[in-house]
Amino acid sequence: MIGIGTYRPRTIVCNDDLVRGTTYTDDWVRRRTGVVRRGHAAADETITEMASRAGSRALAAAGISADAVDMVLVASMSDLRQTPAAAPEIAFRLGARRAAALDIDAACAGFSYGVGMADALVRAGTVRHVLLIGVDRMTDLVSREGSAALLFADGAGAVVIGPGDTMGIGPTVWGADGARRELIAHGASWRDYRDRPEQPWPTMQMAGREVFRWAIDTVPELGRRAVEAAGLEMAQVRAFVPHQANLRIIERAAERLGLSADTPVADDIINAGNTSAASIPLALEQLRQAGRAHRGDWALLVGFGAGLAYAAQVVQVP
């Protein structure tokens, strides 16, 4: 990784704003999720707009021009258009006119999947520079009345991945558990909505307790496998950056991983909510800006989400 950039929505919404008129309280949201505030995208902060802003900042940080990008990968689950994909438009906006461009839908694991794909493509010599963007507008997918609205949010984060003299990204350990696919799923299909337009807008449904139990078992094991695959010891990991699903999942997973007591653990969810595919790059950049992670440090990234899809790798902080 040679550059990172992020975009956070202009509008910040606190718990009190969302629980007003409901049976939920600010204290309940904090205890269950860890979220205090989150960003909600305005009408003009579209998937392509947020992604383009983050991508432009990543290119500037990497010190390369858009025409040096060979591929644009966009990890997202919330672009409501079936076609065309968002990536070609984003590539065009940025000026990456010759780049291959495609979307990845691995939900909240999408960014980690993208890191694995970009790393493999660069190593194979198929491309030289990949712009990988994680972006989601989760507020379009969740019911405004349910508890999911208290957790999910919007944002974008991007990295540039390119060749280096030494290993900067370890092997990706990934997989999927399709037997649990219904734990996080769209409640109805677009066909259902077309045929019965009187029904409520299709929203994403999540079995929170089951996902919690699955995650606190899966994430630590996945993280250990990724560290081992890179030929590192856990003591060499200087930052833990899991998908910002829920602060309680993050805390339990960190405990079970066996990290050094002084290893920083990303907690961007407190101020950003769960931004799905954007959460890992947003959290990584937040650690950098806070001085808790430094250029060249080994960071363990673990993405997991609907599918249930999961992926992990260790990377050097850009």
Active centre residues (catalytic): 108, 243, 274
Distance in angstroms (rounded) separating the CA atoms of residues 290 and 57: 18
Rg for the chain (alpha carbons), in Å? 18
Distance in angstroms (rounded) separating the CA atoms of residues 266 and 248: 12
Whose CA is closest to 2, among 143, 115, 125? 115
Q: Read off the amino acid at residue 230.
A: A
Whose CA is closest to 90, among 133, 58, 138? 133
Residue 233, token pair as written in the block = 């010891």
Phi, psi at 80, each rounded to 5°: -80, -5
**Helix count (H) and strand count (E) of the chain?**
11, 13
Sign of CA dihedral 49, 54, 55, 59: positive
Sign of CA dihedral 147, 148, 152, 154: negative
Distance in angstroms (rounded) separating the CA atoms of residues 25 and 27: 5
CB 90 within 8 A of CB 55: yes
Distance in angstroms (rounded) separating the CA atoms of residues 294 and 238: 9
| Full 3-state SS string of 153-204 | CEEEEEEEECCCCCCCECCCEEEECHHHHHHEEECCCHHHHHHCCCCCCCCE
- Classify residue 12 by its DSSP letter: E
